Structure 1
């Protein structure tokens, strides 16, 4: 059992920790939540935590000039990698971790919004993070994506956006998808950001809101099974 808390950094008011928090609570793992939308500071030292979770958000990982707390998170993630404190990054969080590892973040080959079937790549690490699954039914909402960092193992892909997940040193996991999502958050996104769907409605990797909601219950159940596997693998290395 971890004796230090897991740090969760929330970037935006409507991008909450959701199923990740549910999982940690069930496992009896303490958390410390820092909210960037409320102006709370980014901690300076990774070693004060058992692990670090970076959540998603509508901003770009390249917006550090105007949102300095993004660059502060990149520095914290770099410190975590150097001190072997496990990091897990969801969507924007996976991009920030990638930048901390020296990789770039740029426009995705295609935006992805909605339920996606993500292909697991053939790699020895894949079974640890995804079990026997070859296809991961997960939710996505992003217009940018990360390059795979040097030294990282590339674990999952889609045709629209090949770089979906990577792991480095066996303990730091970056993902482009949202395995943490629950119904309330998804509905909030559809309410407040439907214009993003409208702007790229002709793109094959973007679903309309009605189609997203029509599959909500079954897809969330499947998504949470994947999340359980990822989170169980991640907590094994907590300090």
Structure 2
């Protein structure tokens, strides 16, 4: 009598290992300078990427963090004041940018925020000697550094951008000039791997444009400025390229936050 053959065991099913859930993106610090200011399209696109907005207004007493460890990046927006003003909150913001530079945290300065970055790095902020302003849409030219950066980052810079300023800044020591313009030659800079300053306003929406050009109507009458109706015409012509640039720029700017470990 023969022994029964051993019962064959069913093959083991491999159970896929569950990856631990990725942590939620850290918030982005948003610094605004007027009571009813908003981060506009920049804020909306950051939220679409999963980032909460930590909005602070040092002008009205809000403190700035002592470290950027709890934030994915910081954006300082524009405002009617000057980076040369003696106000305590202006000086405090300029000094605070050193934290971003020291920790190599993503920093984006828009208009006033770019001028503050220049001041932090030892650059000059100035008014035009002939009292000219850039208010409306103006051309943007890339430098060799800017072209190399576009290839590195994988996006194209817009050829025409929306401006609202009557002060400019020199390219500070140690920074790279990425783009130039007309009456105010320095339009975009980078310091180190993750700190940027742009003179133009990629955050602007049609509602913001209408509000600025009504409440600040006198700015549209300054030498070099464009009248209000030209702003809205320029929006339809130039904004699609600005939107594409901003999408690509934010992805590049936040890459260290979103890349898997």
Q: Deviations over 1:68-125 (max 9, x none)?
A: 1111111211111011111100000011111111212111464201011211112222
**2:123 maps to what in 1?**
103
Q: Deviations over 1:43-82 (max 9, x none)?
A: 333334221110000100111x2x2111111121111101
**1:55 maps to what in 2?**
77
TM-score, normalised on structure 1?
A: 0.88
**2:44 maps to what in 1?**
22
Q: Tell me the SS of whatever aligns to 2:186.
A: coil
Q: Tell me the SS of whatever aligns to 2:29.
A: strand
Shift of 1:145: 1.1
Q: Tell me the SS of whatever aligns to 1:29.
A: coil
Note closer, same or farther for the CA distance 1:138–1:228 as it changes in structure 2 (3 Å cut): same
Deviates more, 1:94-103 or 1:120-129: 120-129
Q: Tell me the SS of whatever aligns to 1:8.
A: strand
Structure showing the higher strand proportion among its residues = 1
Q: Does 1:209 align with 2:228?
A: yes
**2:247 maps to what in 1?**
228
**2:163 maps to what in 1?**
140
Paired with 1:211 and 1:4, the residues of 2 have a C-alpha distance of 39
RCO (CA 8 Å, sep 6+): is it higher in 1 or 2? Answer: 1
Shift of 1:216: 2.6
Q: What 5-or-longer segments of structure 1 have no aligned partner?
A: none
Q: Deviations over 1:129-185 (max 9, x none)?
A: 57244x522100111112112111110011221100011112101010001111111
Paired with 1:21 and 1:192, the residues of 2 have a C-alpha distance of 22
Paired with 1:137 and 1:50, the residues of 2 have a C-alpha distance of 29
Paired with 1:54 and 1:168, the residues of 2 have a C-alpha distance of 15
Q: What 5-or-longer segments of structure 2 have no aligned partner?
A: 1-22
**2:57 maps to what in 1?**
35
RMSD: 2.1
Paired with 2:156 and 2:48, the residues of 1 have a C-alpha distance of 24
**1:81 maps to what in 2?**
101
Paired with 2:74 and 2:257, the residues of 1 have a C-alpha distance of 9
Aligned length: 232
Shift of 1:42: 3.0
Note closer, same or farther for the CA distance 1:142–1:81 as it changes in structure 2 (3 Å cut): same
Give the counterpart of 1:68 among 81, 88, 107. Answer: 88
Runs of 4 or more consecutive aligned structure 1 residues displaced over 4 Å after TM superposition: none
Give the counterpart of 1:172 among 177, 181, 195. Answer: 195
Q: Report the structure number with the largest CA radius of gyration.
A: 2
